[in-house]
Amino acid sequence: MGDLIPELLRGAQVTAVVALGGSLFALAMALLAGLTRLYGPAPLRWLAFAYIETFRGTSALVQLFWLFFVLPHFGITLAPMAVGIMALGLNVGAYGAEVVRGAIGSVAQGQWEAATALNLSRAQTLRRIVLPQAFVAMIPPWGNLLIELLKATSLVSLITLSDLAFKAQQLNQNTLRTVEIFGSVLLVYLAMSLLITAGMRSLERRASRGLRRGKVA
């Protein structure tokens, strides 16, 4: 088993980079699209709506292939790592935008009315009052989305990235030690998922404590 570990770890490193990059990109897209959908001018609201529905309504695999195989026909060629991060980030970000929108919508209307009474602008109300409360509500569903993103990283093996899934397939073809290889891969994915779960739960606890103190920790 020791001879398999270095190759699997190299694959796991690629998987971790894609997952981390995709997660950060997804968070940025979700906030941008969610806030635009709620408060942007009409043309931008429609653009955000089109993005959300397109990427939620089509396959992540097809989106990945579009970015990697179709864009070069229009003169746009991206590195495999960039494609993997963008495709997963755009896909999960579309789902995350609805999480953002729902979390903001769950804040009591009285909070907005109180902010109006204090003569706060919409931007100030969002930043100081609404988003800190909505942020706490976003964390559990975002934990699920990030785990889904981690599992979807296996798709990047189809665009020449030597991620964990790709390394496992290579090793299995070369050694036929199927049980050892895929058993180890299962454990690695599980460990990564548990790490995400632990991190999000810790973040949720800190954010909840910060909210009770009047700020987000």
Is the residue at 155 inside a domain?
yes
pLDDT of residue 2: 62
Is the residue at 116 inside a domain?
yes
Is the residue at 42 inside a domain?
yes
pLDDT of residue 13: 94
User: How many domains, in total, are found in the chain?
Assistant: 1
pLDDT, tens digit, for every residue of 45-65?
999 999 999 999 999 999 999
Q: Residue 119 is part of a domain; what is its CATH number?
A: 1.10.3720.10
pLDDT of residue 11: 92
Q: What is the 3-state secondary structure (H, E, C) of 120-153?
A: CCHHHHHHHHHHHHHHHHHHHHHHHHHHHHHHHH
Is the residue at 69 inside a domain?
yes
Amino acid (1-letter code) at residue 184? S
Domain around 83 = 14-161
pLDDT of residue 26: 97
Is the residue at 120 inside a domain?
yes
- Cβ atoms within 10 Å, residue 21: 17
Mark the ranges of the chain whose per-residue pLDDT is less than 50.
216-217
Is the residue at 179 inside a domain?
no
Is the residue at 39 inside a domain?
yes
CA pair distance 114, 91, nearest whole angstrom: 36
Helix ranges (DSSP H) in the chain? 5-39, 42-57, 60-65, 80-105, 109-117, 122-125, 131-152, 164-175, 178-212
